[in-house]
Chain A
Amino acid sequence: MLSSPFVTAPTRVDQIMLRVLLALIPGITLYVWYFGPAILVSITLASLTALATEAVMLKLRDRPLKPFLSDHSALLTAWLLALSIPPLAPWWLVVVGTAFTLVVAKHLYGGLGNNPFNPAMIGYAVLIISFPAHMTHWLSPHALGGMELSFAQQLDYILHGILPAGVGLDAVTMATPLDTLKTQLHLGLSVNEIRDMPIYGRLAGHGSEMVALGFALGGLYLLFTRIISWHLPVVYLGTLFALAGLFHLYDPAHYVTPVFHWFSGAAMIGAFFILTDPVTSPTTAKGKILFAAGAAVLTYLIRVFGGFPDGMAFATILMNICVPLIDLYTQPKVFGKKEEGK
């Protein structure tokens, strides 16, 4: 090192990524608790695919393997993608999704630090558009007392696509709570009638509300360890709450409570883990606020008025497009240049 500074703080990219992975663990634990261990299979599959794809792409791009394979960024993308795919999905869905994410959404754009879109959300978007049927069969939580597959049977389905004789896929899976809400509202039921259905719990969907709570816990850890700044999660959740609250106050029979929106779908994991991807979010404080507010509005609009059950992925991608513009127009004034007009 010939040029100052000669000392550096001991933070490293891999440590940051590792902490984010750690912060996902409470959510994943609750996931396993309520829905069984199938999610661990998809996470493993996605992780292995991500590392293998990353290695191949680095090799093709003539980049050193070691620093980039050990930065944990591919793992983080893999985990986030796996968590947005139904656990009882065929193995190839996870593998294809992860490989596409790493090849196209990450490396074709220049690899770590250069991707304009959140890779996991691109992966999810591609899967839900290409394989909509596979992407809507979500496991029912244990407590509902319906038919449940053993772990061995789940594995059999994931790897070979075989279900036990006499069991249909619909018997062991269900639509997400958000999806169900939307369908039932279309069928003319009121919010209260729908909320009485057994798949709903105290906050939102039974089981999934607890998983969301787990992600929120992990998110708070990231917030307190300053891995992420408050702007994105606070503004995102705040805007979502305010918007859902307004609609709910206007017509409680047709618009669910803001708390329901918080704990449904990808809102929590999105607020703390997806939007906060530094590479694809704005760098200025004002920009972060705009970005998060925009993502919240889009999420709500897609959820309530759009064609997809959840809006997190598309909201994120649409806002990712705006990041360069947001950054350009939200540049803060520098030291000693604040007095001048613009």
Chain B
Amino acid sequence: MRTLHRFHGGIHPASHKALSTHQSIVRAPLPNSLVIPLRQHAGEAAKPCVSTGDHVLKGQRIGTPNGMLSSSVHAPTSGTITAIALHQIAHPSALPDLCVTLIPDGKDTWIEREAVDFRALSVSELQQRLRDFGIVGLGGAAFPSDLKLRHRIKVDTLILNGAECEPYITCDDMLMRERANEIVRGIFILRHALEADEVVIGIEDNKPEAIAAMRQAVCAAQLDYAVVAVPTIYPGGSAKHLIKVITGLEVPSGKLPTDIGVQCFNVATALSVKRALDDGEPLISRIITVTGNVEQPRNYEALIGTTLSDLVALSTAKSDTNRYIMGGPMMGMVLPSANVPMVKASNCVIAASDALFPPAPPALPCIRCTRCVQVCPAELQPQDLYWFAKSNNFGKAQEWSLADCIECGACAYVCPSHIPLVQYYRYAKSEIRERSAEKLAADRARERHEYRQFRIEREKQEKAEKLAQREAASRSAATAAPSTPSVDDTQQMRINEAIERAKAQALAAHPKNTDSLTPEQQAEIAAIEARRAKILELATDAGADDEPHKIS
């Protein structure tokens, strides 16, 4: 038996998982149209590589990775591209993003699938394959899987995350119950790529069927993987916390799991890795739980790009449903509308009603009861962070490690004053990001200005020098004049010193919260920035019709 470890805090919210585990996974019917966002992963959106009017085959690449932190996007079925345009996506801002609209031809014709023997591939070829096949983490962050195969030090432990700690969500549970063999095969490939010493599959002990199925599959494949039942506690499925439970190690703040010799993949990702190599199938579908206020809560295998409202319709939403949550009730988001496409990261849609999720009573003042401290898995002082965020004391919030908050919501869950704590932290985090970006821009502007001053000064001096030289030349030509005074270089030195100082200052004043970000966070920031740029662009475009073009 493996000794398991504990992480601080955590909560036990009602799981509501049994709702959607009575029925097996069913394939959702082919929809009339698919809207496939080009940004479904952490990082840069894929570049469309098809045009409107093109006929594509199932599995054909329609978007290629743009930059290192990016991934590919594929056509989930065969059909015709009818638009490559902005469309509303599953983002709380309700802002549109670039999507490819595909009208299926109903034939579902595959592109030629080419299986490869992963043993014949080098690690970099394997990474390239995952990148080309659009494999990203299916646990929620959608981080490109090829990047997770990079590591600087030896990977001792490969962990498979089957914890699925959020209430209501059962897609990984059902996948493990029904497709354990394929998952194990995927793990085999991942272990080969990482050359990991051991493999541990962590599953919360409230999923006995999944544990049994995985054990059986491991046994059947005659592998030495440990299938470990980890205690059911939210947020035990957070990668860093699962790593702590299984290895006892804490991933240092701002570092990656591979920095401590551990890597963690979601079980569903392992399956898609298997399909990419063994079957030559890119990531074009996933399992999604449709649950909550619906008549038939269950899991669907649906094509990426399927409109969420179509999926909900399959389960029949009850009449008092008034909103939809994507993800779980602890960390999910309210969808601006159910008319948004499902993406690779979509693990669950919950039909919500006021009866199912009663609105919280008005918030009372914080009484410093520290129930939040007792449950915070990041071991923060949520009551202090709340106080700092509320009073816009962002420096202090950073000092109190706001950046280490994983926004799991455990604090807000237990708060007897019903303070929407996570909202305050998100606000503070975005303000800090915004301000450090502004500071960076200001620093750059100052640097440019200082350099310009320096340049003007230098040109002036050069001119004076030339003049002096010419004068001296003419004078020496006339008489043996006394040597001209050397150029006053003390001023030059002073200028140089000032520039050096400014540079050093700019370096020292580098914003604190951006230097220890994980690639996921950086990706998120990049995504937000890109979205901002897009809004600006849209606003300018929209304005261009009826207003003279604005410069600024």
Residues of A whose CB lies within 8 Å of any CB of B are 1-9, 11-13, 15-16, 64, 67-68, 71, 73, 111-114, 229, 278-279, 281, 283-284, 327, 331-340
Are B420 and A6 in touch, CB under 8 angstroms? no
Task: Type the 1/0 row for B362-384, where 1 means its CB is closer than 8 Å to any CB of A.
Answer: 10111111110100011111011
19 A–B pairs (Cβ distance < 8 Å), ordered by A: A2-B334, A4-B330, A5-B330, A7-B14, A8-B412, A8-B413, A9-B413, A13-B417, A16-B369, A64-B362, A67-B364, A111-B365, A112-B365, A229-B370, A283-B381, A331-B381, A334-B378, A334-B380, A334-B404
Closest A-B pairs by Cβ, 10 of them: A113-B365, A5-B409, A336-B253, A6-B329, A278-B369, A11-B416, A5-B330, A6-B357, A334-B401, A335-B378
Please name all residues of chain B whose beta carbon is closer than 8 Å to the beta carbon of A283 when the two chains form the complex: 368, 370, 373, 381, 383-384
Closest to A228 in B: B369
Closest to A333 in B: B379
In the complex the two chains form, what is the Cα distance from A64 to B363 in whole Å?
12
Are A67 and B362 in touch, CB under 8 angstroms? yes
Are A5 and B422 in touch, CB under 8 angstroms? yes
Asked if B418 is at the interface of the complex by the 8 Å CB criterion, the answer is yes
* CB within 8 Å of A: which B370-412 residues: 370-371, 373, 377-381, 383-384, 400-401, 404, 407, 409, 412
In the complex the two chains form, what is the Cα distance from A337 to B405 in whole Å?
13
In the complex the two chains form, what is the Cα distance from A6 to B366 in whole Å?
19
Please name all residues of chain A whose beta carbon is closer than 8 Å to the beta carbon of B11 when the two chains form the complex: 9
State the interface size on chain B (CB cutoff 8 A). Answer: 61
Within the complex, which residue of A2, A68, A278, A332 is in contact with B379, where a contact is CB–CB below 8 Å? A332
Are A5 and B369 in touch, CB under 8 angstroms? no
Task: Type the 1/0 row for B331-353, where 1 means its CB is closer than 8 Å to any CB of A.
Answer: 11110000000000000000010
Please name all residues of chain B whose beta carbon is closer than 8 Å to the beta carbon of A336 when the two chains form the complex: 240, 250-255, 378, 404
Closest to B331 in A: A4
In the complex the two chains form, what is the Cα distance from A229 to B373 in whole Å?
12
Residues of B whose CB lies within 8 Å of any CB of A are 7-8, 11, 13-14, 92, 167, 240, 244, 250-255, 325, 327, 329-334, 352, 357, 359-362, 364-371, 373, 377-381, 383-384, 400-401, 404, 407, 409, 412-418, 420, 422-423, 426
Are A2 and B92 in touch, CB under 8 angstroms? yes
Closest to A328 in B: B384
With A6-B325, A16-B416 already in contact, the answer to whether A337 and B252 are too (CB < 8 A) is: yes
Please name all residues of chain A whose beta carbon is closer than 8 Å to the beta carbon of B413 when the two chains form the complex: 5, 7-9
Closest to B382 in A: A283
Please name all residues of chain B whose beta carbon is closer than 8 Å to the beta carbon of A16 when the two chains form the complex: 369, 416
In the complex the two chains form, what is the Cα distance from A26 to B409 in whole Å?
37
Are B329 and A4 in touch, CB under 8 angstroms? yes
Please name all residues of chain B whose beta carbon is closer than 8 Å to the beta carbon of A3 when the two chains form the complex: 92, 333-334, 420, 422-423, 426
- B204 to nearest A CB, angstroms? 18
Are A4 and B409 in touch, CB under 8 angstroms? yes
- B424 to nearest A CB, angstroms? 10
Are B404 and A337 in touch, CB under 8 angstroms? yes
Within the complex, which residue of B254, B331, B365, B383 is in contact with A5, where a contact is CB–CB below 8 Å? B331
With A16-B369, A283-B370, A335-B7 already in contact, the answer to whether A5 and B412 are too (CB < 8 A) is: yes
Closest to A7 in B: B329
Please name all residues of chain B whose beta carbon is closer than 8 Å to the beta carbon of A281 when the two chains form the complex: 368
Interface hub of B352, B413, B422 (most chain A Cβ within 10 A): B413
- A328 to nearest B CB, angstroms? 10
With A5-B329, A6-B329, A8-B418 already in contact, the answer to whether A335 and B364 are too (CB < 8 A) is: no
- B320 to nearest A CB, angstroms? 16
- A100 to nearest B CB, angstroms? 21
With A1-B359, A283-B370 already in contact, the answer to whether A15 and B420 are too (CB < 8 A) is: no
User: Interface majority SS on B: helix, strand, loop or mixed?
Assistant: loop
In the complex the two chains form, what is the Cα distance from A340 to B325 in whole Å?
39
Please name all residues of chain B whose beta carbon is closer than 8 Å to the beta carbon of A12 when the two chains form the complex: 361, 416, 418
With A278-B369, A283-B373 already in contact, the answer to whether A6 and B13 are too (CB < 8 A) is: no
Closest to A337 in B: B253
Please name all residues of chain B whose beta carbon is closer than 8 Å to the beta carbon of A339 when the two chains form the complex: 250, 252
Closest to A71 in B: B364
Please name all residues of chain B whose beta carbon is closer than 8 Å to the beta carbon of A64 when the two chains form the complex: 362
Please name all residues of chain A whose beta carbon is closer than 8 Å to the beta carbon of B8 when the two chains form the complex: 335
- A318 to nearest B CB, angstroms? 19
Closest to A13 in B: B416
Within the complex, which residue of B7, B13, B362 is in contact with A7, where a contact is CB–CB below 8 Å? B13
Within the complex, which residue of A1, A114, A337 is in contact with B365, where a contact is CB–CB below 8 Å? A114
Are A278 and B357 in touch, CB under 8 angstroms? no
Please name all residues of chain A whose beta carbon is closer than 8 Å to the beta carbon of B384 when the two chains form the complex: 283, 327
Within the complex, which residue of B330, B365, B371, B404 is in contact with A11, where a contact is CB–CB below 8 Å? B371
In the complex the two chains form, what is the Cα distance from A12 to B352 in whole Å?
23
- A112 to nearest B CB, angstroms? 5
Known: A112-B365, A281-B368. 5 other contacts (CB 8 A): A5-B331, A5-B412, A6-B357, A113-B368, A335-B404
In the complex the two chains form, what is the Cα distance from A68 to B409 in whole Å?
25
In the complex the two chains form, what is the Cα distance from A13 to B426 in whole Å?
24
In the complex the two chains form, what is the Cα distance from A254 to B368 in whole Å?
41
In the complex the two chains form, what is the Cα distance from A192 to B131 in whole Å?
86
Are B364 and A13 in touch, CB under 8 angstroms? yes
Interface hub of A2, A68, A335 (most chain B Cβ within 10 A): A335
Interface hub of A2, A73, A327, A336 (most chain B Cβ within 10 A): A336
Closest to A110 in B: B365
In the complex the two chains form, what is the Cα distance from A7 to B371 in whole Å?
16
Interface hub of B332, B334, B417 (most chain A Cβ within 10 A): B417
Please name all residues of chain A whose beta carbon is closer than 8 Å to the beta carbon of B407 when the two chains form the complex: 4
Please name all residues of chain B whose beta carbon is closer than 8 Å to the beta carbon of A67 when the two chains form the complex: 361-362, 364
With A15-B416, A335-B378 already in contact, the answer to whether A278 and B367 are too (CB < 8 A) is: yes
In the complex the two chains form, what is the Cα distance from A277 to B410 in whole Å?
23
Please name all residues of chain B whose beta carbon is closer than 8 Å to the beta carbon of A331 when the two chains form the complex: 381, 400
In the complex the two chains form, what is the Cα distance from A111 to B7 in whole Å?
36
Interface hub of B240, B379, B380 (most chain A Cβ within 10 A): B379
In the complex the two chains form, what is the Cα distance from A333 to B376 in whole Å?
12
- A38 to nearest B CB, angstroms? 32
- A10 to nearest B CB, angstroms? 9
Within the complex, which residue of A1, A279, A334, A340 is in contact with B368, where a contact is CB–CB below 8 Å? A279
Are A113 and B422 in touch, CB under 8 angstroms? no
